[in-house]
Amino acid sequence: MSTNTLVTPVAEQPLTERRARKKWRPYLPILVMMLPGMIYLLINNYLPMFGLVIAFKNIDYAKGILGSDWNGLTNFKFLFRTSDAYIITRNTLLYNGTFILLGLIFSVGLAILLNEVKNKFMSRLYQSIVLLPFLISMVIVSYLVFAFLGDTQGYLNNTLLPLLGLDSMSFYSDPKYWPYILTLVNIWKTVGYSCIIYLATIIGIDPEYYEAATLDGASKWQQIRTITLPLLTPIIIIMTLMAVGRIFYSDFGLFYQVPMNSGMLYDTTNVIDTYVFRGLLQSSDIGMSSAAGFYQSVVGLILVVLSNYAVRRFSKDNALF
Amino acid sequence: MNTDNRLWQWISHILLILLSILCIIPFALLIISSFTAEDMILKEGYSFLPSAFSLDAYRYLTGNLSLIGRAYGITVIVTVAGTTVSLLITSMLGYGLSKKDMPGHKIFSFMVFFTLIFNGGLVPTYLIYTQFFGIKNTIWALIVPGLLMNGFNVMLARSYFTMTVPAPVLESARIDGAGEYRTFFQIVLPLSLPIMATIGLTAGIFYWNDWNNGLIYITDQKLYSIQNLLNQIMQNIDALKNSNSAYGSGQILDLPGETVRMAIAVIGVIPVLAAYPFFQRYFIKGIAVGAVKG
C-alpha cells in the first residue's frame, strides 16, 4: 500500500456562531451517516457506564435500577472480605502476565521464521495454518481440549500416557494442571494472529539493511540480532504496553469454556470476568458481582491511561490518545 | 554464507512444519472422531487411528434436522444480518471520522476512542439490555450487543479511509455533482475493498462463533445457535456427571453421544474453514494495516 499521507489543512481559527453554523451545513450528510453508529455507542457503551452506580446500590428488581436503595460501600466490603477477591485478582494478573510474555516470545519467533521462508507459496500456507486456531470458537476449542484431556475417553489417558508408561490423570478435577493447560491453549489460539502484526513490520524493513549486512559478512543470526530485533522493538513495546493496559480483562471464553466451568477448578481458573459472570447469572449475587465489575472497570481504566502515557513517551504516533 | 542461508531455510521449514502440525492435529482428531463408531470411542477413547469407522453421527444429524437445522438457521441469519449491519454502520461512522476538518471531529473521535478504554462491564450492560430494552430471549440479543465490536473496527476503517482514498478523487466526484452518499457508496467503498473484507470477515467470524450473547441472554432453546447448542450439550453432560449418584445412568442415553457432539462441532467449523481461504489475502493485509496504525 502506498503511504502518501494527505495533509488536510485544518483551519483552527475562532469562529463566530454564524460562521460556525455555515461550516456545519456541508457536513450534514456525513453527520447523518454517523448517526446510527453514534446512537449505537450511546446505547451499548455509554448507558452502561452510568450503570456502574449499581455497585453502590442494593439492587431490587421490583424497584428498578434507579429506584433501588443506596448502600454505600457494602458490596465492596463483602467482596474484599472474601478470599475470592484475592484469588481472582491473582489469577487474572498472573495468567495475563504469562500470556503477554510467552505470546510475545512465540509470535516474534514465528514471525522471524515465516520471514525466512523464501518460497512464497509455502510461506502463505504456513501463515494460513497457524491462523486456523484463531478462527474457531472457544466452545469448539473446549471440545478439542476435552477430546485430548477427558478423564475416560481422552486421547492422553487412553493412548499417550499408557504409551509412556504413565498413570492416567484426572485433568478436570485437579486444579494444578490448569495453569499449564490454559497457557498452552491461549498460545495455540492467539499466536498465529499476533505474529502477523510482527511479520508485517519485518516485511516493511528496508531490504538494503540486510544487503549491506550480507556484504559485510554478517550471518543470518547476526542479522536478526542487529537488524530485525532492534527495528521490531518499537512495535513490541507498543503492543506490550497496550496488552498491559488490558491486563485486568481476560478472555472469558478461555477461562469459562475450556475448564468447562468446573467448580473443582475455580482455584486456578477463576478470573475477574468469570467471577462477574457467575455472580450475575449463576448465583444471582449481583451486589458482589457488580462490585467486582466496578473494580475491574476502574482499575482497568487507570492501567490503560498509565500504559498509554508510557506509549506516548515512547512513540507519540502510536499512543491511543 | 550460502550454507548459512540454506541452513536457515531448513530450520525454518522444519520448525514451521512442526508448528503447523500442532495447529492441525486437534482438528484432525475432531474430524476423525466424528467418523468413528460410538462404541469404539467408549472402549478405546478418542483416537487418530480408530479401529472402526461409522457414519452414524452424521445420520443422527440428518435424522434430527428440526433441532440441528434450526440452530444452523439461527446461526446463518444472525451471521448474515449482523455482519451486514455491522459493516454498514462501522464503515459509515469510520468515514465520518476520517473527515478531519469537520467541526466536532475531535469530540466524535474521542467518543469512539473512549469506548476502547472504558466500559460499564457486564452487570450494567446486562441490566440495561434486559430491563430497558427487553432483548432477553429475542433474536436481537444475538445481533445487537456485537454490532460495532468495541469501536476497534471503526478506528480501522477510519485509518484506511484517510490513508488510501486520495482526496483529489473525492474532490472530482464532488465537482461532477455527486452527493456525499453517492461518493461514499460508489467511490469510497469500492476503493476500500481490503478493509471492508477484513472488517466483514472479523464480524462474520465473530457472529458465527458467538456463544457469549446466547449464554447471557438466551434461555429459550428455540433461539439456540450452533455454538449455544454445543455449549448446552456439554453443560448437560457435565451436570449429569457431577451428580451421577442423583440421576440414574439411564438418562445419559438421551444425550447425543460423543461422536454426535463431534459431528455438530465439525459442521459448526466447516463454513469458517471453507470461507477463510477466499478472504485470507485481505485478512492478513487488514490485520497488518490495523496494526501499523490502530
Q: What's the pLDDT tens digit per position in B112-141?
A: 988 888 888 899 999 889 988 999 999 999
CATH assignment at residue B142: 1.10.3720.10
B168 touches chain A (CB under 8 A): no
Residues B216, A281: C-beta atoms closer than 8 Å: yes
pTM of the predicted model, to two decimals? 0.88
In a domain, B52, yes or no: no
Q: Is residue B120, in this structure, part of any structural domain at all?
A: yes
User: Does B125 fall in a domain?
Assistant: yes
| pLDDT score recorded for residue B24 | 94
pLDDT of residue B42: 85
Asked whether residue B25 is assigned to any structural domain, the reply reads no
CA distance, residue A140 to nearest chain B CA (Å): 6
B64 or A7: which leads in pLDDT? B64
Global ipTM: 0.88
CA-derived radius of gyration, chain A: 25
How do residues B233-292 score in pLDDT, each as one tens digit?
887 776 665 554 444 444 444 566 788 889 999 999 998 888 888 877 777 777 766 655
> With contacts defined as CB-CB under 8 Å, which chain B residues touch A51?
120, 123-125, 127-128
Grid coordinates of B267? 459442521
Inter-chain CB proximity A139 and B47 less than 8 Å = no
Contact status, residue B64 vs residue B57, Cβ threshold 8 Å = no
Residue B145 confidence (pLDDT) above 70: yes
At residue B19, the pLDDT reads 95
Q: Is residue B192 part of a domain?
A: yes
Q: In percent, how much of chain B has pLDDT > 90?
A: 41
Maximum distance among all Cα pairs of chain A, rounded to whole angstroms: 85
Determine the distance from the C-alpha atom of residue B251 to the mean position of all C-alpha atoms in its chain, rounded to a whole number: 34
Contact A23 B103 (CB under 8 A): yes
pLDDT of B219-236, one tens digit each?
A: 988 999 999 999 888 877
Residue with cell 473443582: A264
Show the domain range for B76: 64-290
What cell was used for B273?
A: 474453514
Cα angle A285, A290, A292; round to 5: 100
Contact A41 B115 (CB under 8 A): yes
Q: Does B31 have pLDDT greater than 90?
A: yes
Instruction: Note whether residue B24 is domain-resident.
Output: no
Q: Give the closest residue to B128 by CA, choosing from A291, A42, A79, A256.
A: A42
Residue B171 maps to a domain:
yes
Q: Does the residue B150 lie in any domain?
A: yes
Choose among B102, B111, B164: nearest Cβ to A41. B111
Give every residue of chain A whose pLDDT is below 70, as ranges. 1-22, 318, 320
Domains contained in chain B, number: 1
Other Cβ atoms less than 10 A from the Cβ of B31: the count is: 16
Neighbours of A153 (CB within 10 A): 18
Residue type, A272: I
Long-range contacts at B47-56 (CB < 8 A, ≥ 24 apart): B47/A155, B47/A158, B47/A159, B48/A155, B54/B259, B56/B259
